[in-house]
Amino acid sequence: MDFGAWPPVRGHLASARRSASIFLDSLPSDDGRTGTARQNWVATWAKTGDAYSGLADLNINKRAFDEATEAWLCALTAFEVARRLVADDDADSAGVSAKVEAGVQRFGLALGHQVENVQITCCDEGEFQAYYLPAGCPGLSAPAVICVSSEEEKGATLLGRLLPVVIGRGMSVLVVSHADVHNRSHGRPAVLLSLCFDYLSARPEVDSSRIGVYGDGLSAALVTDYAMYDRRVAAAVCDGGILNWVRTSTSVGWMTGIADGAATDVISACRARSARQFNCPILVVAGGRGVVSVSEAVKLQADCMAACIHLDLAMPQIIRGGFGEEVENFVTSDDCVFRWLENKLTRATAPRWML
């Protein structure tokens, strides 16, 4: 692919996301010019997002709202690519993130898609903000997903990334930030997430028997604890307890001096026993910038298989860019996660013997 040029924007979401995925999969290796190339790629994708935003405005003026919606979703995808490429200490980092957040706000305000700023009441800490997007299925009771951002991201940033994925899937989403869940919970994030579940359950358009939860980055560990705590959860994308097990096994081995082989057997038994505490299907996403390593996830899946426990495992495509950092193909990863959630939440109402 020619990284120095970009075709005219057309506002076709499937095409825009396919182009983004191909670009991410094709990042070249280090050739001594990656610093300049990286800046060029960030600028190109940011300008592409701006062009899609302009196309959305033109379609709004023509009252072609469906086309405007698709153009906005293309813009959010382009901005997310730029955000993934820009260095954290780069002066452009804040500007790219601001484009994502502004895109989320304009998407709702201009097109009437009900991206609502809602308040979740937390008894000890007052209220905290979340973003809610209804499924858009009038008269139907649809599934919903609680989405918790990574420790590095605001809720609006995660929503901007997920909007192109969830629109049209017939599910509502409630997006909350890791900071709110972690900092306001006094060490009990499961209790706070249960309040989010209660909020969704009270919405007339949500089927309370088909509510799932998804944790990005370090939030995957928070979601694990919550899925074990709240038996109402219908599906969970989490770390399967891996982060806690790694910490525990390291501490036990250091304090007791147990031989590696014996410790491995003990940890395997603990993994299988913990997995039985889930009352719902779980998906573990391994690799990349997340908290779950591929090796630990494979061990967990093997232990679960030996114990006749079903666990799904996803490993996103990770590209090691020439600038020495891993870049995840978020397009294929997010599509995989939400296809899985859509499948599990659609089947959640079936009798258990049919699952």
CATH of the domain at 130: 3.40.50.1820
In-domain check, residue 355: no
Q: Are residues 22 and 49 in the same domain?
A: yes
Most confidently predicted of 39-43, 228-232, 255-259: 228-232
Range of the domain at 38: 1-113
Q: Name the residue with higher pLDDT: 268 or 239.
A: 239
Q: Are residues 86 and 171 in the same domain?
A: no
Residues ≥6 apart with Cβ < 8 Å to 235: 212, 213, 280, 281, 282, 283, 340, 341, 344, 345, 348
Q: Are residues 23 and 147 in the same domain?
A: no
Q: Are residues 153 and 102 in the same domain?
A: no
Q: Are residues 17 and 143 in the same domain?
A: no
In-domain check, residue 322: yes
Q: Are residues 20 and 95 in the same domain?
A: yes
Q: Please provide residue 259's backbone torsions phi and psi, each rounded to the nearest 5 degrees.
A: -60, 150
State how many domains the chain has.
2
What are 179-226's pLDDT values in tens digits? 988 887 666 888 899 999 999 999 999 999 999 999 999 999 999 999
| Nearest one of 85, 220, 97, 201 to 154, comparing CA atoms | 97
What are 72-91's pLDDT values in tens digits? 999 999 999 999 888 666 66
Q: Look at the pTM and tell me if it is higher than 0.85.
A: yes
For residue 344, name the pLDDT band (cuts at 50, 70, 90).
Answer: very high
Q: Which helix (H) or strand (E) holds 133?
A: strand 126-133
**Structure tokens belonging to residue 22:** 């191909």
Position 163 scores a pLDDT of: 94
Position 354 scores a pLDDT of: 38
Q: Name the residue with higher pLDDT: 254 or 39.
A: 39
Query: Would you give the DSSP letter of residue 92?
Result: T
Q: Are residues 59 and 164 in the same domain?
A: no
Q: Are residues 93 and 178 in the same domain?
A: no
Kindly tell me if the per-residue pLDDT of 112 is higher than 80.
no
Q: Are residues 192 and 235 in the same domain?
A: yes
Asked whether the beta carbons of 96 and 39 are under 8 A apart, the reply is: no
The last residue of one of the domains, among 69, 90, 113, is 113
Kindly tell me if the per-residue pLDDT of 336 is higher than 90.
yes
In-domain check, residue 226: yes
What residue ranges in 183-239 does DSSP mark as E strands? 206-215, 235-238
The last residue of one of the domains, among 87, 113, 139, is 113
Q: Are residues 161 and 90 in the same domain?
A: no
Position 289 scores a pLDDT of: 67
Q: Are residues 260 and 179 in the same domain?
A: yes
In-domain check, residue 36: yes
Position 150 scores a pLDDT of: 92
Q: Are residues 214 and 154 in the same domain?
A: yes
The last residue of one of the domains, among 90, 113, 136, is 113
In-domain check, residue 87: yes
In-domain check, residue 354: no
Kindly tell me if the per-residue pLDDT of 318 is higher than 70.
yes
